[in-house]
C-alpha cells in the first residue's frame, strides 16, 4: 500500500512538472515527501543498507513521475489548446491554493522576519504585473506583455 501511495504522489509531482507555473517541488512539499526525498538524495551513499532503502524510494517516486507525465501530458495539452483560459485559471488556482501550505512549511524552518520579507517581495511582484497588459494567443497560455504607461 505504501508503494502505491508513493507512486501516486510521484504521479502528482510529474503532472505538476508539466503544468505551467506549478513546480514538482511545490507539490512534494504539499504531499509531505519533500523532506524524505532530500534525505534520500543526501544519504544515498552512507551505507549499503541506506543505499537500498533510498534507491527504492527514489525509483518508485521516479516511476510515478514518469507515469504522471505520460498519462496527463496529452490531456493538459488538449485543455490548453481547446479551453486555454479556464485551464490556465485552474493552474493558477493550484498555485494560489498551495501558498498557505508552503507558508506553513517555511514558518517551521525559518524565522518570522524572513517569511514577512518574502511575502512582501511577492506582493510587490504581483502588483508590478498590474503594469502589464495581457494579450492571449490562445495556445499554451503564452502571453505577450506590453507596458501600459497610462
Predicted confidence band of residue 108 (pLDDT cuts 50, 70, 90): low
Tell me what percent of the residues of the chain surpass a pLDDT of 90: 20
Residue ranges in the chain assigned as alpha helix (H): 2-18, 24-30, 34-42, 48-82, 84-109, 112-129
Report the C-alpha gap between 29 and 25 in whole angstroms. 6
Q: Which of 10-14, 88-92, 140-144 has the highest mean pLDDT?
A: 10-14
Amino acid at each position: 500500500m505504501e508503494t502505491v501511495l508513493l507512486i501516486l504522489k510521484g504521479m502528482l509531482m510529474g503532472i505538476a512538472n508539466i503544468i505551467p507555473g506549478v513546480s514538482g517541488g511545490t507539490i512534494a512539499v504539499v504531499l509531505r515527501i519533500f523532506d524524505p526525498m532530500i534525505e534520500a538524495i543526501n544519504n544515498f551513499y552512507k551505507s549499503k543498507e541506506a543505499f537500498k532503502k533510498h534507491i527504492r524510494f527514489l525509483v518508485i517516486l521516479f516511476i510515478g513521475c514518469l507515469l504522471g507525465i505520460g498519462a496527463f501530458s496529452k490531456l493538459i495539452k488538449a485543455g490548453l489548446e481547446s479551453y486555454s483560459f479556464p485551464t490556465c485559471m485552474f493552474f493558477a488556482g493550484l498555485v494560489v491554493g498551495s501558498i498557505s501550505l508552503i507558508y506553513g512549511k517555511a514558518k517551521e524552518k525559518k524565522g518570522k522576519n524572513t517569511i514577512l520579507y518574502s511575502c512582501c517581495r511577492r506582493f510587490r511582484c504581483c502588483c508590478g504585473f498590474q503594469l502589464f497588459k495581457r494579450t492571449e494567443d490562445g495556445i499554451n497560455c503564452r502571453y505577450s506583455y506590453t507596458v501600459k504607461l497610462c
